[in-house]
């Protein structure tokens, strides 16, 4: 029996998703809505500055991966982050196949935009670009993306922090933790649905 074609996924400026006009929660919103990620202790001006820097770092890496970056025009502030990304790609052999990809799971009814999908030495991988300070909820985020982009499979789930000194740090979800994180994310999704039920 042929699968029903998926609806049209859209995301607005506030990062809210819809499928054919119907609201659908985003992976990151589900995690935040359940209190699993919390930035309330961070001063607003520091948070805004970090978000702005993150936007520029993401754009720099995206343009590099797409072959559109004019490196000579890059701000000196951003160059170390690009060097860190280049080192990560070289050291791991990561080859992106999808960049800033957006999709949704009709099964779990959740959407998301992943930084990178690709291959690390032939193995499928989800790679999310992060700031320097590790957060436990990152594991749930990449797991949510796995439910969307790799249903029924277990890809490599990696968070990579690009640092201002041109180095990087990796946090990888171990396969033994996959099921626990899957259960935790799906529980958060149930809570989100309960809290937002009309």
Residue ranges per domain, the chain?
A: 9-195
Structure tokens at 167: 């180095």
Residues 109-124: tens digit of each pLDDT: 999 999 999 999 999 9
pLDDT: is 73 or 91 the higher one?
91
Q: Tokens 């998926």 — which residue?
A: 6
pLDDT: is 185 or 4 the higher one?
185
For β-strands 168-173 and 9-11, DSSP reports them as unpaired
> What pLDDT score does 55 carry?
87
Topology of domain 9-195 in CATH is Lambda Exonuclease; Chain A (3.90.320)
């Amino acid at each position: 029996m042929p699968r029903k074609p998926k609806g049209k996924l859209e995301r607005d400026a506030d990062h809210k998703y819809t499928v054919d006009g119907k609201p659908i929660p985003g992976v990151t919103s589900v995690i935040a809505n359940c209190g699993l990620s919390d930035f309330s202790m961070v001063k607003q001006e520091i948070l805004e500055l970090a978000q702005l820097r993150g936007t520029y770092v993401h754009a720099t890496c995206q343009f590099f991966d797409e072959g559109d970056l004019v490196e000579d025009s890059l701000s000196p502030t951003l160059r170390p982050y690009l060097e860190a990304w280049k080192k990560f790609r070289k050291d791991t052999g990561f080859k992106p196949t999808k960049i800033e990809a957006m999709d949704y799971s009709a099964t779990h009814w959740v959407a998301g935009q992943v930084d990178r999908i690709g291959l690390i030495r032939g193995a499928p991988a989800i790679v999310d670009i992060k700031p320097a300070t590790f957060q436990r909820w990152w594991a749930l985020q990449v797991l949510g993306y796995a439910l969307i982009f790799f249903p029924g499979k277990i890809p490599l789930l990696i968070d990579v922090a690009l640092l201002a000194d041109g180095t990087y740090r990796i946090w990888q979800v171990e396969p033994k933790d996959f099921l626990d994180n899957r259960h935790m994310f799906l529980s958060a999704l149930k809570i989100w649905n309960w809290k937002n039920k009309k």
